[in-house]
Amino acid sequence: MQSKIDGDPIDRQTAFSGTREVAAALRIDVAQLQDYLHAHVPGFAGPLTVKQFRGGQSNPTYLLETPASWYVLRRKPPGKLLPSAHAVDREFRIIGALHAQGFPVAEPVLYCADDSVAGTAFYVMSFVEGRVFWEPSMPDSDPAERAAVYDHMNATLARLHSFDPAAIGLGDFGKGENYVARQVERWSKQYRASETETIPEMDRLIAWLPQHVPPQQALRIVHGDYRLDNTIVDARAPRIVAVLDWELSTLGDPLADFSYHLMQWHMPQSDSAAGTGSLVGRDLAALGLPSLQQYVDAYAARTGFDPRPHLPHYLAYNFFRLAAILQGIVGRVRDGTATSDNAPAKAQMVRPLAVKAWEFAEAAHT
């Protein structure tokens, strides 16, 4: 298959970093929000300025600036939504539980289920200072820093997978058992609900995956979208100070979560906004980045969980799942509820991801 997707070249760091004026369809009544926060957040004082973060595809995310403090607001997008998607209440709950354990997440401030305040349910958390690397190769870094960031990223996910969910108040955060089988069923339905064209590999995967689910080793908290650009790295040190975007978090199979994170070593490359970042074709040793094998070995040593016996199955599942997630974004473009300027380009990536998933499905038989 072609490794590159047609499209205009993109500097992901520039395209996705920072804030912009809030898109017209996602505007919030700032005066009303300011009054609500003043009444419910201790120490809050206006005037309030609201901007929209450039990055992200699903839940609209805003920077709230006041003279004394900065906050971040995440809300459900307006309009018709897929079933069970955009659960900002679950995001708020899990960051609260993890923050109490000293895990690197933003501090939760407030959750509001009242649609009349900002148009949809939302939560507010603290603003975390630091750097977001939108390219997994970290172009502006150096080998020593890259190696240290990747090691800390590995250790952070291993720590998440070490928690006993019940011991930190998350024992009922999801069904947990048979996670991959339930995810395959869920994302097959979501894909069908958002489908805009026939992709034979997706049809094959929807039939193949339920018959080839790896055995689940443990029940743990899973992030669901763990990758470098969903973390904030300390401005002065190669360590992760916050893990972001917990929308897909639940209880489930830690190896499914970890192997999702491994897709960047196999990700079809893209020069457009369609891509999600790739290490394919990079000289990893020269960059100071671990090989996939080294990264897997480090995680297995830290956790005792070993994905290697079933890695093709897990990667087939995860590439399928990501294709279905991106198809959901394409569906939101169709329905007029997409939150990112780059959302339309995602349609270009669904088929290459499905093709890659089917390659791993075929490899699982060899």
123, amino acid identity: Y
CATH of the domain at 332: 3.90.1200.10
pLDDT in tens, 194-224: 888 899 999 999 999 999 999 999 999 999 9
The candidate with the shortest Cα–Cα distance to 328, out of 191, 188, 196, is: 191
- Is the domain of 48 the same as that of 109? yes
CA distance 90 to 74: 12
CA distance 31 to 244: 27
- Is the domain of 199 the same as that of 95? no
- Is the domain of 241 the same as that of 313? yes
- Is the domain of 110 the same as that of 170? no
- How many residues does the structure list for the chain? 366
Answer whether residue 133 is part of any domain. no
Q: What is the pTM of this model?
A: 0.88
Q: Which residues constitute the domain of residue 224?
A: 143-363
66, 95, 126 - which closes a domain: 126
pLDDT in tens, 19-48: 788 888 889 999 999 999 999 999 999 899
Burial class (CB in 10 A: 0-12, 13-18, 19+), 1: exposed
pLDDT for residue 5:
34
Highest mean pLDDT among 9-13, 117-121, 164-168, 320-324: 164-168
The candidate with the shortest Cα–Cα distance to 16, out of 289, 247, 343, 243, is: 343
- Is the domain of 359 the same as that of 312? yes
Output 46 or 346, whichever has higher pLDDT: 46
CA distance 366 to 356: 16
DSSP string, 61-83: EEEEE-SS-EEEEEEPPSS---T
- Is the domain of 8 the same as that of 89? yes
